[in-house]
Each structure stands twice: as C-alpha cells, then as structure tokens.
C-alpha cells in the first residue's frame, strides 16, 4: 500500500461536513483549520478563501490565525512531516545527531521540503516525552519515542518506500506512563462517579467550603487558591459560567499531565464536573496541547463512557438542572497558549495573544462568560477532595502547600518518569529516588522556574520554598550549564508571541548575546547586558512568558559563573564580530596588508 497524495484544495465535499460538525462557528476556527489540514495535508489559499466567508470572517483574519500557530501550514509539508522534539533532554540523548542522520539518509535539509515533495524534517519545542526521548512527532498525530540510530535508519527506508504510518511497527508509537511513585493522585483510579456523587450529596455551597478548607493551590504554576478562584467565578454575574481545563503542558520538561490524561481521565472529568456543579456551569473545555493529539481518541472515548453512564449531559446522576458537558479543543503548537488568557483567545478561534488583565477570566473569560481555568492536576486533586474532604487534604504537605505534587523527572538519572510526593519533600530525597548521580544542577519548574545547585539540594518542594509546576530536570557534572541556558534562551525567543516589544525584542537580544558568548566573542560587559535585559523584561513584559524568560539565565550566571567566564574573551567590551577580519575587504581594496593595517598592532 502506498500513499494517495492528498488534494490541496478544500473540495466542498471536505469543507461542508467539517463546518457542520462545528456549527460553522467562527470560534471553532482553529479546530476547523486543523481538521481540514489533516484531510488535505496543508492549508492552501483556496481553502482559506473558502473557510473565511463560511465563518463570517475576513480572509485577513483567517490568515492571521493560521500564521500564529506552528502546526498550521500554508505551504505543502509532505506526506511525512517529521518534527524532532527539541528539548535539552532530547539533545542530551542525542537527538541532533539522529536528526542529521535522518536528513542525510533522505537527502533533505532541516526545515525544507524534500525535492520530491514527500518529506520534511524539522525541530519543534519539547513534545512532553522527556522520560522516553529522543522523541519525534510525525504528521502531528503520532509520536515515535526511544529513537536510536537503528530506528532512524528503518524510518528512512519506510519513508522512501512510501509506507503509510499505519503499517509502521506499532511498538515505535508506544508511550509509557513511567509512574515511579504514586500517592493520592497517581494511585488506583476511583470508580467513575464516586467523587461526583459525594459532591452532589454535600451540595454546591458545602462543596465550595470543602475546597476552601483544603487549601488546594493551582498546580499550573501560579499557585492561586482553587477554592477562592471558584468562589470568585461563582460570584461573577453572567448568564453562563464555563469550566476550562488547561492541558497545554508546554513548559519544557513537564509531562505529568500526559500521564494523568491517559491514566486518570475520569478523575480529571470528575473534577471538572464538580467545578461545574459548584459554579452552575453547563459548558466545559479541555485545551489539549497539539503535541498530545495522540491522546485525543482515548480522551474522547472516556467522555463518551461518561455520557453513557449519565455522568455528563442532562440531569447528571439524576440531579435535575445539572446539565454539563465537555468538549476537547486541540491546540496547534504555541507555548504561550498555556497562559490562561491566551488559551481562552485560542479557544475562541483567535491568535493566542494574552489578554490585558483585569478583567480576569473569572469575571470575563470564554466569550465573555465568567470562566474557571485550572490545570489537569488541580482538577484531579478536586475530585480527591470531594471524596475525602478538605480537612483530609489540608493535613498532607506543609501549612502553605497542602496535598501532594506530581513531578516529571528527566535528564541525568537512572529512572526518569513521574513521581508523586507530599509537599515538603527535599530535592536531595527526590534525586536519590530517581537514581541521579554526581548531580550538578536541577531545573525545577522548567526554564521559567528555578535552577538549583548542590548547596540547595536540602531545600523543599513547596510554594513557600521551591515552587514548581512539575518539571524536574537533572544535570550531572558532565553538562555545560551555559549551553543549557543558551538552548532555552532560543526557546523563549522562538515562543514569544511578539505582542509586546520588551519580550519580542528582549528574548531575541538575549538569544543573540548568548550566541555571541558561545562564539568566544563575549566579555563581562555582555553579562552585564544580560542582567539588564533580565531586569527590564521582569518588569515590563505583558505576560508571564516574557517575565520569566530570563530566570534560568539569571540563576546560571549566579550559580554556574565559570561556565560563562571560560567563554569570555576579555573582561570588558568585545564586539560580536571579528573587527580585524571585517577590515580585510578594505585592505584588499587599498592594496595594504602591512603590520599597521591590522588592528591588533594598534596601540
């Protein structure tokens, strides 16, 4: 069997059913474009011209949206669109050499379509598979894990022979959960409906009181009190309230939500339904990151099971007036869409530009309705609280950080995977559990989190000490922390949405300065400039992406200074280029190459 080349035009036959599925709603634009692209391979000008009027939008609006998302293409990308996960952990496992090998075997240049129009190979930001990398995405809906030279050679052969993905070895697409330590959230899932029934038995007011009693704080990073968030939303006037689960999980090194979505989807939906019961919401969304498209069928089937069991839809568990359902929105490759207001924009079918706040989503969220946005893990915790009560949850962990936290452990350790600990656990304890040796640094919370050096390994995971959204990346002494910071500087420059100048320009300047240092042209002056950019971006950027983009840089300059200083050419100023070499044309034109024509001889 070989591929039939997909047509590049939106035949009415393809467009009409997709539009019908979404009621031709303009806020479903991203989903409609994703589906058309899956059918046609790319989004041709004709397709965009047909979609725009069908949704009551201008062509410019549609083009603006397409241009924002990395996984939407206005040029052909081939029958095989290969995207290597480009996290530091993938690179540590050899992803760059494997990418070069695949390109060489296929005769393609990274980022370009092959001459025969069949294959393109490129990099993409972390795909959330750091515990089983190096990994890649193929055609935006399959992932290949545990890549090695043999697998790459076989893949090249299969692509050359134009074998469809459905006939590739099934074990290549296996994704393991790698649950290494389970407590409350990662243990055996409860029977569907138990937590929801407990919430209904309590009543909405009492359930909200339990949430507040639990002191649960959001697991997406900011740590806002979940009970308070639900209360603020509930108090906001509006004909409708909306519940949104943030499953964007884009922070490099984080993959615990992937495991919850696969293993504990019922707990997640239970938590969302409990929130809906408290708020009186009818509509829920899961914003599933585009890189997790391979989970879509599983998550949809769990939703259907719940509908069949009367746990979603009208009169849930026989409760008159409790009518709630959940739709899945698949993202299209943009880290900033994890920021809750950008996520809501994206849910509304627009570019994922963070909103000006206030008003906050709890007052003015999805289509202007009061909206609660919570992380996957937060909703799973809410379902535990419904079953066991707020006081039970509050007793676990520390005073300011109740309950347990799930960590995505990767990098230089023997047992990468997900680990659940009560808050208050020391970094050293976690390093021992995962089999880390000779550790030089741990990046907690990803590149926008904290980078700790060995003298800090006695610190504890807690909002009052080391706060985290879940990434725990380990680096042993063989790693160059400057290169780690440089790689993430490029990540932020790449992911900046470009809306505000301090971040758009600042992240690019930081990446450029780091490249200058890497090329051996740097000086202490460049380090001063990096600190200045960090200060500026912290205080002036529009959203958390820009504000935290220099966190790792800041920590590595302070704690791993020799990694920077060994690259400095001089102590004060050095230009970012070789001045003497730049003058070679002038020397040639003037016919001079004497000693005095070279800068180093000037005094």
| Options 20-28, 151-159, 391-399, 539-547: segment touching ligand FMN (CB under 6 A) | 539-547
- Binder of residue 496, out of ligand SF4, ligand FMN, none (CB less than 5 to 8 A by kind): ligand SF4
Integer Cα distance of 217 and 598 in angstroms: 63
Question: Taking the complex as a whole, how short is the minimal distance between the CB of residue 35 and ligand FMN, in angstroms?
Answer: 23
Both tokens of 203, joined, read: 């009543």
Question: Taking the complex as a whole, how short is the minimal distance between the CB of residue 495 and ligand FMN, in angstroms?
Answer: 8
Long-range contact list for 512-519, CB < 8 A, 24+ apart? Answer: 512/576, 514/482, 514/485, 514/486, 514/489, 514/490, 514/553, 515/486, 516/576, 517/482, 517/486, 517/564, 517/567, 517/568, 518/482, 518/483, 518/486, 518/567, 519/576
Annotate 41-87 with DSSP letters as a single string. Answer: SS--HHHHHHHHHHTT--HHHHHHHHHH-TT--SS---SEEEEEE--
Among 31, 50, 236, 378, binds ligand FMN (CB under 6 A): 378
Site for ligand SF4 in 345-374 (CB under 6 A): 354
| Options 277-285, 401-409, 515-523, 536-544: segment touching ligand SF4 (CB under 6 A) | 536-544
Long-range contact list for 530-539, CB < 8 A, 24+ apart? Answer: 530/557, 531/557, 533/506, 533/509, 534/510, 536/502, 536/506, 537/502, 537/503, 537/506, 537/507
Alpha helices per DSSP H over 287-418? 296-308, 340-347, 376-388, 390-394
Q: How do 325-330 and 179-181 pair as beta strands? A: unpaired
| Residues near ligand FMN (CB under 6 A), total | 22
Among 289, 546, 551, 555, binds ligand SF4 (CB under 6 A): 546
Site for ligand SF4 in 327-346 (CB under 6 A): 336
Residue number, 68 or 172, with CB nearest to ligand SF4: 68
- Binder of residue 373, out of ligand SF4, ligand FMN, none (CB less than 5 to 8 A by kind): ligand FMN
Both tokens of 59, joined, read: 């062509």
Q: How do 325-330 and 471-476 pair as beta strands? A: unpaired
The partner residues of 265 in beta bridges, in order of sequence, read none
Q: Three-state SS string across 215-274, please?
A: CCECCCCCCCEHHHHHHHHHHCCCCCCEEEEEECCCCCCCCHHHHHHHHCHHHHHHHHHH
- Binder of residue 238, out of ligand FMN, ligand SF4, none (CB less than 5 to 8 A by kind): none
Residue 463 interacts with ligand FMN (CB under 6 A): yes or no = no
Question: Taking the complex as a whole, how short is the minimal distance between the CB of residue 199 and ligand FMN, in angstroms?
Answer: 18
Helix H or strand E segment including 284: strand 283-288
Integer Cα distance of 546 and 488 in angstroms: 13
Residue 339 interacts with ligand FMN (CB under 6 A): yes or no = yes
Residue 498 interacts with ligand FMN (CB under 6 A): yes or no = no
Q: Three-state SS string across 15-47, please?
A: HHHHHHHCCCCHHHHHHHHHHHHHHHCCCCHHH
- Binder of residue 224, out of ligand SF4, ligand FMN, none (CB less than 5 to 8 A by kind): ligand FMN
CA atoms within 13 A on the CB side of 129: 31
CA dihedral 484, 486, 490, 496 (to 10 degrees): 90
Mention every residue, 6+ apart, whose C-beta is less than 8 A from residue 11: none
- Binder of residue 378, out of ligand SF4, ligand FMN, none (CB less than 5 to 8 A by kind): ligand FMN
Residue 517 interacts with ligand SF4 (CB under 6 A): yes or no = no
Residue number, 231 or 339, with CB nearest to ligand FMN: 339
Annotate 347-365 with DSSP letters as a single string. Answer: HTTS--PPPPSSSPTTTS-
Annotate 130-172 with DSSP letters as a single string. Answer: GGG-S-EEETTTEEE-S--HHHHHHHHHHHHTT--GGGS-GGG
Among 543, 552, 563, 568, binds ligand SF4 (CB under 6 A): 543
- Binder of residue 248, out of ligand SF4, ligand FMN, none (CB less than 5 to 8 A by kind): ligand FMN
| Residues near ligand SF4 (CB under 6 A), total | 14
Count of Cβ atoms closer than 10 Å to residue 153 Cβ: 12
- Binder of residue 220, out of ligand SF4, ligand FMN, none (CB less than 5 to 8 A by kind): ligand FMN
Residue 542 interacts with ligand SF4 (CB under 6 A): yes or no = yes
Residue number, 312 or 373, with CB nearest to ligand FMN: 373
Question: Taking the complex as a whole, how short is the minimal distance between the CB of residue 74 and ligand SF4, in angstroms?
Answer: 22
Residue number, 291 or 574, with CB nearest to ligand FMN: 291
Among 499, 516, 521, 523, binds ligand SF4 (CB under 6 A): 499
- Binder of residue 340, out of ligand SF4, ligand FMN, none (CB less than 5 to 8 A by kind): ligand FMN
- Binder of residue 338, out of ligand SF4, ligand FMN, none (CB less than 5 to 8 A by kind): ligand FMN
Residue number, 143 or 503, with CB nearest to ligand SF4: 503
Residue 543 interacts with ligand FMN (CB under 6 A): yes or no = yes
Site for ligand FMN in 178-237 (CB under 6 A): 218-222, 224
Q: Build a one-symbol-per-residue string for 58-87: x at contacts with ligand FMN by CB under 6 A, - elsewhere.
A: ------------------------------
List for the chain the helix, strand, coil content (%; round to 5).
Answer: 50, 15, 35
Residue 249 interacts with ligand FMN (CB under 6 A): yes or no = yes
Residue number, 345 or 377, with CB nearest to ligand SF4: 345
Residue number, 402 or 440, with CB nearest to ligand FMN: 402
Residue number, 50 or 410, with CB nearest to ligand FMN: 410
Task: Give the interface with ligand SF4 as residue ranges (CB under 6 A).
Answer: 336, 354, 496-500, 503-504, 541-543, 545-546
Task: Give the interface with ligand FMN as residue ranges (CB under 6 A).
Answer: 218-222, 224, 246, 248-251, 336, 338-340, 373-375, 378, 543-545
């Amino acid at each position: 069997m070989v591929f039939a080349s997909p047509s590049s035009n939106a035949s009415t036959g393809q467009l009409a059913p997709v539009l019908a599925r979404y009621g031709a709603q303009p806020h479903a634009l991203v989903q409609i474009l994703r589906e058309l692209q899956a059918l046609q391979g790319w989004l041709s000008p004709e397709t965009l011209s047909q979609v725009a009027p069908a949704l009551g939008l201008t062509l410019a609006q549609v083009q603006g949206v397409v241009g924002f998302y990395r996984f939407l293409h206005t040029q052909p990308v081939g029958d095989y669109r290969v995207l290597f996960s480009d996290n530091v952990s993938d690179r540590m496992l050899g992803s760059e050499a494997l990418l070069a090998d695949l390109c060489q075997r296929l005769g393609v240049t990274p980022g370009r379509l092959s001459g025969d129009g069949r294959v393109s190979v490129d990099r993409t930001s972390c795909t959330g598979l750091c515990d089983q990398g190096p990994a890649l995405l193929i055609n935006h809906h399959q992932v290949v894990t545990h890549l090695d030279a043999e697998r790459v050679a076989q893949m090249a052969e299969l692509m050359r022979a134009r074998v469809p993905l459905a006939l590739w070895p099934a074990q290549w697409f296996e994704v393991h959960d790698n649950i290494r330590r389970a407590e409350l959230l990662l243990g055996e899932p409860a029977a569907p409906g138990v937590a929801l029934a407990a919430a209904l038995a309590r009543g909405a007011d009492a359930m909200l009181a339990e949430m507040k009693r639990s002191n649960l704080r959001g697991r997406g990073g900011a740590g806002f009190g979940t009970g308070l968030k639900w209360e603020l939303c509930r108090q906001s006037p509006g004909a409708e309230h909306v519940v949104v689960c943030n499953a964007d999980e884009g922070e490099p090194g984080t993959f615990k939500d992937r495991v919850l979505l696969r293993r504990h989807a019922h707990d997640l939906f239970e938590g969302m339904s409990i929130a809906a019961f408290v708020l009186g919401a009818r509509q829920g969304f899961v914003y599933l990151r585009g890189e997790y498209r391979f989970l879509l069928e599983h998550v949809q089937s769990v939703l259907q099971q719940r509908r069949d069991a009367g746990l979603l839809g009208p009169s849930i568990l026989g409760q008159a007036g409790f009518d709630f359902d959940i739709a899945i929105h698949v993202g299209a490759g943009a880290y900033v869409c994890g920021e809750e207001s950008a996520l809501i924009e994206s849910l509304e079918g627009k570019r994922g530009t963070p909103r000006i706040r206030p008003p906050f989503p709890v007052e003015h969220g999805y289509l202007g309705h009061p909206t609660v946005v919570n992380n996957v893990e937060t909703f799973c915790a809410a379902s535990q609280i419904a079953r066991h009560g707020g006081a039970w949850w509050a007793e676990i962990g520390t005073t300011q950080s109740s309950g347990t936290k799930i960590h995505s452990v990767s990098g230089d350790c023997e047992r990468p995977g997900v680990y659940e600990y009560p808050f208050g656990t020391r970094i050293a304890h976690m390093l021992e559990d995962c089999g880390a040796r000779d550790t030089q640094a741990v990046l907690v919370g990803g590149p926008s989190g904290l980078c700790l050096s060995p003298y800090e390994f006695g610190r504890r995971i807690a909002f009052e000490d080391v706060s985290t959204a879940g990434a725990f990346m380990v680096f042993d002494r063989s790693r160059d922390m400057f290169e780690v910071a440089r790689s993430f500087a490029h990540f932020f420059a790449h992911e900046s949405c470009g809306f505000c100048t301090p971040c758009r320009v600042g992240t690019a300047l930081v990446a450029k300065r780091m490249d200058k240092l890497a090329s051996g042209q740097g000086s202490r002056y460049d380090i001063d400039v990096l600190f200045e950019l960090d200060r500026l971006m912290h205080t002036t950027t529009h959203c958390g992406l820009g504000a935290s983009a220099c966190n790792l840089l800041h920590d590595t300059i302070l704690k791993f200074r020799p990694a920077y200083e060994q690259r400095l050419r001089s102590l004060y100023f050095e230009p970012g280029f070789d001045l003497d070499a730049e003058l070679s044309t002038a020397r040639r034109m003037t016919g001079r190459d004497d000693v005095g024509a070279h800068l180093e001889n000037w005094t």
